């Protein structure tokens, strides 16, 4: 029983981090209608940048986020503007999917050249410290990561719900043609949306690097988890993504604690297949479609 509750706590904390990564993915899907296969690679890139800043300049990994996020924002916006925007309209969706895949490979290639393919982690002094509450261990990094995720998600929700830009994004998500007719500049919204999605990867990357060990190849692992979450949440629903991320975090932690860590990775794929079998639109796909 103790073990189960401990696993649920761990799962919720991990799920919070997944929620952050996957929300960027959902945002990009909502705005561009493109499954961004580069999201995992962007997270790993952010983890490396954060690690370098920490090692070379001693900047606390959490404080690297405001430095790395703008860089990734620019990178993401540039990817949309230079690579996705000019694609042929006729089968843009298939081509853009593959272009994001190529971007992921490019990032992996650059990271392998610069950092070689050894595994590394970001190890600040508090990385392995934890609090004990009523007999349950709560890792400091994980808790801080979860709080950071909540803060970023909250900011994202405010940005989308309360600002002019957010309204333009939501209009584009619901009906791109109508939004364009009403004066929303589709390309600019798309570039900003992709940039914003990439910037959330920056926050996620710093955290990911402290909790897991990673190498340039890790993005395949990560992207399959993120995509499972996004499908479970119903492609394009932000609330659904958060719930799905928490659920997947708990499921995989439970499988890891009670069965074997090996199969906890596998639980993502099983859940993905089960969702596609039983409810292909995802948990919230039908009800909230287009609502982001």
Q: Which positions touch another protein (CB under 8 A)?
A: 34-35, 37, 83, 86-88, 91, 93-95, 97-99, 101-103, 105-106, 108-110, 112-113, 117, 220-221, 223-224, 227-228, 230-231, 235, 262, 265-266, 268-269, 272-273, 276-277, 280
Q: How far is the CB of 182 from another protein (least distance, A)?
A: 27
Q: Shortest CA distance to 1 belongs to which of 246, 256, 245, 257?
A: 257
Q: How far is the CB of 43 from another protein (least distance, A)?
A: 15
| Sequence-ordered list of residues with C-beta below 8 angstroms from that of 253, at least 6 positions apart, any chain | 7, 8, 10, 11, 14, 264
Tell me how crowded residue 137 is: count the other CB atoms within 10 A of its CB.
12
Which residue lies nearer to another protein by CB, 64 or 80? 80
Among all chains, which residue has been given the structure tokens 């992921």? 104
Q: How far is the CB of 176 from another protein (least distance, A)?
A: 16
DSSP 84: I
Q: How far is the CB of 101 from another protein (least distance, A)?
A: 7
Q: How far is the CB of 80 from another protein (least distance, A)?
A: 13
Which residue lies nearer to another protein by CB, 63 or 97? 97
Query: What are phi and psi for residue 137, nearest 5 degrees?
Result: -85, 135
Rounded CA Rg of the chain: 19
Which residue lies nearer to another protein by CB, 131 or 266? 266
Tell me how crowded residue 221 is: count the other CB atoms within 10 A of its CB.
15
Which residue lies nearer to another protein by CB, 170 or 225? 225
């Amino acid at each position: 029983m103790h073990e189960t509750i401990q696993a649920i706590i761990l799962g919720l904390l991990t799920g919070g981090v997944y929620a952050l990564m996957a929300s960027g993915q959902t945002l990009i899907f909502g705005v561009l209608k493109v499954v961004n296969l580069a999201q995992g690679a962007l997270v790993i890139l952010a983890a490396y940048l954060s690690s370098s800043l920490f090692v070379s300049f001693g900047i606390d990994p959490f404080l690297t986020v405001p430095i790395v996020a703008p860089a990734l924002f620019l990178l993401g916006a540039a990817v949309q503007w230079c690579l996705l925007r000019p694609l042929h309209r006729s089968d843009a969706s298939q081509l853009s999917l593959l272009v994001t895949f190529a971007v992921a490979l490019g990032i992996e290639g650059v990271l392998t050249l610069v950092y070689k393919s050894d595994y590394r982690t970001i190890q600040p002094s508090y990385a392995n410290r934890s609090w004990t509450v009523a007999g349950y261990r709560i890792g400091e990094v994980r808790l801080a990561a979860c709080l950071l995720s909540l803060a970023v998600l909250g900011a994202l929700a405010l940005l989308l719900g309360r600002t002019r830009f957010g309204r333009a994004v939501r209009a584009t998500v619901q009906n791109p043609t109508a939004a364009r007719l009403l004066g929303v500049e589709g390309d600019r919204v798309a570039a900003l949306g992709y940039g914003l999605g990439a910037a959330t990867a920056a926050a996620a990357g710093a955290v990911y690097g402290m909790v897991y060990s990673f190498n340039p190849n890790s993005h395949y692992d990560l992207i399959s988890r993120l995509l499972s979450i996004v499908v479970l949440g119903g492609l394009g629903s932000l609330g659904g993504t958060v719930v799905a991320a928490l659920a997947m975090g708990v499921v995989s932690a439970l499988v890891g604690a009670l069965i074997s860590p090996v199969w906890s990775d596998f639980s993502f794929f099983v859940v993905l297949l089960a969702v596609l079998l039983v409810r292909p639109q995802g948990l919230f796909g039908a009800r909230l479609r287009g609502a982001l």
